[in-house]
Amino acid sequence: MKPQYHAEITIQALQDIFSKDALKEIIHANSGQDALQYQINHPHFHFDESAFKEGFAYVDEQRGLTLAALRHAEPGRARAAFGRAIHALQDFYAHSNYVSLWQLGNPQAGSQEIDPQVEDLLASDQLISGKLYYPLEIFSFIPLTEPLVLRLLPCDSHALMNKDYPGRPGFEFAYWAAVKRTRQFYVALADELDEPSKVIFTNH
């Protein structure tokens, strides 16, 4: 996802739960995952290269760090880890073919109806995500060279598979799947928190 959509998705999913300032910290950590040094050799941050096992392990690790930080009453650290975790979860829908597989089984459904956690799909051997073909991939980010590069890159490339912005097929579905998954991730995490921890985490 492009940074502005990570921010929009996060706001859409969590704005009634976190204070404005707390949400800002989460979005800041979320966007930080797209820093240039994390675009290369960090497929687990973005669920690229079919790094599903590594991606979900990373989400779990950040979830653990969120809980640990809250046990030490460090909400800033908790929000940073939480922001990193939801970045990956949001990218999962933009970079994998989860949305396409879901649409095959639900051809009439609208984007807001998507279920982001169909277990059969998450476990499917047909589930893949885009490969990064460097250095060609870089030119797909430049508007002038994008059309040429899209013709040269294979169908399993990140450039052809991504649903990172509204011009891409399936973007709306990836967007709503990410909103729902972000909310579910918070709800499951909040289940493990006592009231005082929830209050310092959400600042609400």
Binding site for Zn ion (CB under 5 A): 34, 46, 91
The least distance separating Zn ion from the CB of residue 91, rounded to whole angstroms, comes to 4
Tokens 């030490």: give the residue: 72
Residue whose CB is nearest to Zn ion in the complex, by number: 46
The least distance separating Zn ion from the CB of residue 199, rounded to whole angstroms, comes to 30
On the question of a cis peptide bond just before residue 135, with omega within 30 degrees of 0, the verdict is yes
Helices (H), the chain: 3-14, 20-32, 43-46, 52-71, 75-95, 98-105, 119-122, 136-139, 146-152, 158-161, 171-190, 195-202
CA-to-CA distance for 68 and 62, rounded, in angstroms?
10
3-class state of residue 146 by DSSP: helix
Of the pair 90, 202, the CB lying nearest Zn ion is at 90
Of the pair 70, 161, the CB lying nearest Zn ion is at 161
Q: 163 vs 78, 119, 131, 132, 188, CA distance in Å?
A: 28, 21, 14, 14, 26
Of the pair 46, 131, the CB lying nearest Zn ion is at 46
The least distance separating Zn ion from the CB of residue 12, rounded to whole angstroms, comes to 17
Of the pair 30, 100, the CB lying nearest Zn ion is at 30
The least distance separating Zn ion from the CB of residue 175, rounded to whole angstroms, comes to 14
